[in-house]
Structure 1
Amino acid sequence: MTRRSDTAITPDASASASASASASARPLLDVRDVRKTYHLPRGQTLKAVDGISLSVMPGEVLGLVGESGCGKSTLGRCLLRLTDVSSGEILFEGQDITALKERALRPLRQQMQMVFQDSYASLNPRRRIGDLLAEPLRVHPDPDGRKRSRATITARLHELMDLVSLPVSALERYAHEFSGGQRQRINIARALALSPRLVVADEPVSALDVSVQAQIVNLFADLQARLGLTYVFIAHDLAVVRQISTSVAVMYLGAVVELGETDAVLHSPAHPYSAALTAAVPRPVVGAARAAPLGGDIPSPVARPAGCRFHTRCPFVQDRCRVEEPALHVIEPGHSVACHFPLAEG
């Protein structure tokens, strides 16, 4: 890898995550300078999400990747208003949801759902699976604003079991009677109960065996194709992200440092951090070269370094990096990076 000259960079703060989408199409999800700050004892602050802007088009699968503690899960919860943001805007179908009261937000909950990492903790062990899946159908009215009948709910439960390839008899059982992969299928079914348009999947396969991971990722991909879903798929495993995502956002210390189409980011990474993550993916070929582990420790998010947040671990650091924070800017259509001296093939 070599470095691109920074004179060739054209700043653009409104870079889109997907170059393939029509310029006139409206994003399903539009995130504008979103921040989430936690105030800690002794006057300290933790910037878990630090000025993130990105767009997700209808039908897109955005992979959100980065090391543990970078703010991926916090951002995912903010996107669905499970956690309130400190500042910024989150637009769902053009409507800013960041300041909506719960009563106004409730109808939108049907359109935005989440699949959590811990498949067991996400399910009430004292209730049958059928009761858990039926609950959102009882709480929310149908698209015509009417309360669903028992027969309608039962028919929908059977549809959901078919969607996630589980037998109808699973509805009468409890969470502890299932394997981890089966429980995650149940969580996916619950997220789909109200036919949402957006699903945020927070590390949904990280706690599963490798063989089961592949099955669940394939299920996500199949459901996306069949139902036209839009995903924000949070993961630290780039092999998983490569398999399912159409675009990728790489996070480091609360900020997006690279954003673009999956092939561009994973095959030709422009940020040294992205390059280190992709190089660390195990090679399937025996004897294939392995990159050295990324050096240094992740700085504390409470005491983030001045300048570029990655400069303490970057092998290409220069004086400018230590004092000036780079903005996310376009280096080629559909590909943006927050680096003063992006990498180039060569």
Structure 2
Amino acid sequence: MTDQDRPILETRALGKRFSIGSRFSSEGKRTVHAVDNVSLTVRRGETVGLVGESGCGKSTLARCLVRLYDITDGELLFEDDDITSKSLGELRPLRRRLQMVFQDPSASLNPRRRVGDLVAEPLRIHTKLSSGEIAKRVAELFDLVGLLPDHVMRYPHEFSGGQRQRVGIARAIALNPDLVVLDEPVSALDVSVQAQIVNLLADLQEKLKLTYIFIAHDLSVVRQVSTRIAVMYLGSIVEEGPAEEVFSAPAHPYSQALISAVPVVETTPSGTRRRIILTGDVPSPLNPPSGCRFHPRCPIATDRCRTERPEPREHRPGRKVACHYPTI
């Protein structure tokens, strides 16, 4: 097995549940099934795009992958090392190799500190570099992400949204990580700025040999940056495969509906593109449906779908689908 084929990160039936309410509530405690039975493999050097509707569990899964959340069920392996239950002290050496860029750059940067100090902080915590060496490294990082040297003295509010996200990216790559989890890094930005950040991430991946997990709800962006796509619905992955294959021939009914909503120039011979409109609301993770989680909204659901939950199955090399009747 080559380094390219060897998993850098792997989840096995990973789950995350939250308890809400209390004994003082009339309803008592209830359980939110935020992430449910997710098995995912990320190989070195690739970009895995994670897509799905808002509220499907993408951001919760992201925080589980970098162990910002404790994991309720299953296993999480980083380079074959089981980090599922490692303590904060045991995780500390791994923090420099496993980093995250958050969705809202304004919320992830301390407004009372200069951005140069924010980017320098992981270097102070995890390295033994001198003050001069740290200042030199911060200047290098600012240059890498397209910021000017004098920007180190500014505060977050003095930057645009795109510049703040560049600061967040600089902080994430400061320790030369192996894997970066990008939690909707462009969703809060204007379209023109989105393109700049996407291009920056691609350049950094090539220069620094990074592996990405790219989370977004904009499928056009995900298609542009991803090697492989994983489609999430109600906390579970329902389809996974090479990006172009999933986009050109989605096999799960939910994937088909999502991709049919992506704006394209091409049309069918009749001059229109078939759009699949899902009916009904997304079920609550407090009370997920029995059987297939998607069956209440699925146009091809049968009695089997309502009672038997489909497991992700590899229908051909690299293509996994959790559906009893995939079009593959």
Do these two structures clear the TM 0.5 threshold for a shared fold by scoring above it? yes
Q: 2:296 aligns with which of 312, 324, 329?
A: 312
Aligned mates of 2:180, 2:147 — CA distance in 1: 20
1:262 aligns with 2:262: no
Q: Which residue of 1 aligns with 2:167?
A: 186
The 4+ residue runs of structure 1 with deviation greater than 6 A are: none
Check conservation: 2:4, 2:43, Cα contact below 8 A: no
Aligned mates of 2:281, 2:73 — CA distance in 1: 29
5 Å matches for 1:160-175?
A: 160-175=141-156
Q: Deviations over 1:312-336 (max 9, x none)?
A: 1111111211111100001111000
1:274 aligns with 2:258: no
Aligned mates of 1:284, 1:295 — CA distance in 2: 26
1:27 aligns with 2:13: no
Identity score, percent = 60
Report how many residues are paired: 319
Q: 2:139 aligns with which of 158, 161, 170?
A: 158
5 Å matches for 1:115-130?
A: 115-130=101-116
SS at match of 1:226: helix
Q: Which moved more, 1:89-98 or 1:40-49?
A: 40-49
Amino acid at match of 1:98: T
Change (3 A) 1:292 1:337: closer
Aligned mates of 1:305, 1:231 — CA distance in 2: 32
Aligned mates of 2:240, 2:111 — CA distance in 1: 39
How far has the Cα of 1:25 moved from its partner? 3.8
Check conservation: 2:99, 2:179, Cα contact below 8 A: yes
User: Under a length normalisation based on structure 1, what TM-score does the superposition of the two structures give?
Assistant: 0.89
Check conservation: 2:3, 2:44, Cα contact below 8 A: no
Unpaired runs of at least 5, structure 2: 22-27
Q: Which residue of 1 aligns with 2:24?
A: none
> Which structure would you say has the larger RCO, counting Cα contacts within 8 Å and 6 or more residues apart?
1
Q: Which residue of 2 aligns with 1:72?
A: 58
How far has the Cα of 1:24 moved from its partner? 9.2
Q: Which residue of 2 aligns with 1:139?
A: 125
Amino acid at match of 2:137: R
Aligned mates of 1:327, 1:87 — CA distance in 2: 17
RMSD: 1.5
Aligned mates of 1:260, 1:98 — CA distance in 2: 25
User: Under a length normalisation based on structure 2, what TM-score does the superposition of the two structures give?
Assistant: 0.94
Change (3 A) 1:106 1:337: same
Check conservation: 1:26, 1:94, Cα contact below 8 A: no
Q: Deviations over 1:136-156 (max 9, x none)?
A: 111112xxxxx1111211111
Q: 2:281 aligns with which of 283, 290, 297?
A: 297
SS at match of 1:28: strand
How far has the Cα of 1:43 moved from its partner? 3.7
Aligned mates of 1:255, 1:275 — CA distance in 2: 16
Q: Which residue of 2 aligns with 1:36?
A: 16
